Structure 1
Amino acid sequence: MALTVSLLVYMITRQGAERGGQTDRIISSPSGSTFRDPLILHSIVMEIVWHGHSFFRVRAREATIVIDPHARHRGARITADIGLISHDHPGHNAREVIGGTPRILSGPGEYDVTNVAIVGVQTAHDVEQGRRRGRNTVWLVTAEEMRVCHLGDLGHQLSSSDLDAIGAVDILMTPVGGHNALDGRGAAEVVRALEPRVVIPMHFAEANGDLFLGPVESFLREQGVIGATRQARVNVTRSSLPPAGETQVVVLEPRKPEAGPITPERDRPAGAASVRPLGASRSRQ
């Protein structure tokens, strides 16, 4: 039986011209919220799952990529082809969680692994060029004609040279909870600088952990998003991204990795169809 995944996120728009003069047809709901027309995806091309803190699994046709794994769940392992580590901290560098024979990358540079282009940009974990908390690598992954950027524990605003090195971003994963990384306001400034089409907040207080971090709601307020519904995962293709000039915020529910080895066949959703009513989006001016 095919599994249909519905991604619902609230949509906020600002008045003003969008890039290229494009406008979007918006439907008003009875509650007054606005939603884009549903878009039916006929294949799952890229799947993004969040495992809490800054730990993501990105699965594309070319490879499965694990970013900043932690070891909170005893015995849990995720089989992957590539592992990316932003900095050497126990909450971000649990290489033992990655099963299989992955290529592990942990520093700046340009890489090509299993036909996935990866760029690591050196940044810092603090506002003092790393003198207090050390270095941090921002990762940019290009797969399925989309550019996915994971900021790691970025602790400062991006310089013009950082922005040039990162380039265009389709999907951005950014810390929002503070504590030696970007807080809600700082993350909002980075979002304005990078202008991604989709933003996934990370590194914020969760019900079962990270209570020392700030809540995701502070970032959502900065973005003008109220009452966002959390989703289990993101399934996305290049054609299903929001149009240029618009940023959509997607809040994910942390998923606990299963104990024991997780193979792509065992962990893959049982179907290819996905329904995507868009929301939580604002136009950039």
Structure 2
Amino acid sequence: MMLRMFMLALSMLSLAAAASAQQAPPRPSANRPPISQCQAVAQAVPGVTFARFDPSGVQLAQASSKEEVQIQYIGHSTFLITSPEGVTIATDYNGIYRPSMTPDVVTMNNAHSTHYTAHPDPAIKHVLHGWSDVPGEKADHKIQVGDVYIRNVTSDIRNRWGGGGLLQKDGNSIFIFEVAGLCIGHLGHLHYELTESQYAEIGRLDVLMVPVDGGLTMGTDSMSRIVKRLRSALILPMHQPHALEQFLVAFGPQFKIGYASDPVIRVSMRNLPRQPQILVPQGM
């Protein structure tokens, strides 16, 4: 009897260890490249809406600091993202809008000078260009920094003033940050509606940073179609405040609209809104 109970307990421990290994895959190493969980989930469950459920219905429910990502709008298209382990990322880092501290990672797009700088702070450990410096190639980033996995999906950019003609093929990158179970996407300076292939590459996005400007990137109708198709739980507008109201009215009652009450937006898997929400950050 004692032997049978011992074997049963050993079997249960083995099953628990196997389940734990499935839920928490090991971090990548030189022999184990990173795998995008956002792509994997989206491919396994096509067509699903990836909103998370907050029992209270309040966007800023309490969450443990170990699972909370902080997002602060710096200006234009620059957000400062801080992971639970303290990794800091500045999006569309440039010579005008910069966080007060030196981030660990910066991403850039070279549509024009408010989205990149040729002279980043040399103390920045990882400078990720959204374009390739090699003609005919495209940027391809798959990098793990602490508890954040960063990858990109490229898109073309046109003449800055919309005069027609391609300025640079694959000159923009949609950067995706996978951290604390969240998939956070920054559309950069997006000029064209996404293709089916690009949607597949992006996968699931829980939080979406989207440029609103009425036409410098894309018109409101086109941009709103992309937002609806991506089905993110939390949408953060950026870029041009003058076009914000025009962007907001493009969405029906299925989207809740709110205004951040704090400069820092705290997001976790457990407090994403039940209903897709466009949350206007302070400073926008």
Determine if the TM-score, normalized by the shorter chain, exceeds 0.5.
Answer: yes
* CA 1:177–1:235: 2 relative to 1, 3 Å: same
Deviations 1:62-85 (A, max 9, x none): 411111023336x97531111111
* CA 1:76–1:190: 2 relative to 1, 3 Å: closer
* CA 1:147–1:88: 2 relative to 1, 3 Å: same
Unaligned runs of 5+ in 1: 1-17, 27-34, 206-213, 256-285
Match of 2:71 in 1: 48
* CA 1:77–1:43: 2 relative to 1, 3 Å: closer
Match of 1:60 in 2: 83
AA matched with 1:149 = G
Match of 2:103 in 1: 80
Distance across 2 between alignment mates of 1:48 and 1:118: 16
TM-score calculated relative to the size of structure 1: 0.66
Match of 2:248 in 1: 220
Distance across 2 between alignment mates of 1:79 and 1:173: 21
Higher relative contact order (CA 8 A, sep 6+): 1
Deviations 1:88-136 (A, max 9, x none): 52101136565733201113313223242111111022499x9433321
AA matched with 1:217 = E
Unaligned runs of 5+ in 2: 1-47, 131-138
TM-score calculated relative to the size of structure 2: 0.66
* CA 1:37–1:79: 2 relative to 1, 3 Å: closer
Deviations 1:3-56 (A, max 9, x none): xxxxxxxxxxxxxxx969x99878xxxxxxxx6497333437211011111011
Distance across 2 between alignment mates of 1:95 and 1:153: 17
Match of 2:282 among 253, 266, 271: 253
**Structure with the greater alpha carbon radius of gyration:** 2
Q: Tell whether 2:157 aligns with 1:125.
A: yes
Q: Identity rate of aligned residues, in percent?
A: 23
Q: Tell whether 2:61 aligns with 1:39.
A: yes
Distance across 2 between alignment mates of 1:24 and 1:77: 32
Q: Tell whether 2:180 aligns with 1:176.
A: no
Match of 2:41 in 1: none
Deviations 1:195-227 (A, max 9, x none): 11110011113xxxxxxxx42011111124787
Contact in 2 for aligned 1:87/1:152 (Cα 8 Å): no
The answer to which of 146-155 and 42-51 deviates more is 42-51
* CA 1:241–1:58: 2 relative to 1, 3 Å: same
AA matched with 2:182 = M
Q: Tell whether 2:274 aligns with 1:238.
A: no
Distance across 2 between alignment mates of 1:113 and 1:24: 29
- Tell me the secondary structure at the aligned position of residue 154 of structure 2: strand
Q: Count matched residues.
A: 217
Q: Tell whether 2:140 aligns with 1:109.
A: yes
Match of 1:158 in 2: 194
AA matched with 1:122 = T
* CA 1:23–1:76: 2 relative to 1, 3 Å: closer
CA RMSD of superposed structures (Å): 3.2
AA matched with 2:65 = S
Match of 2:94 in 1: 70
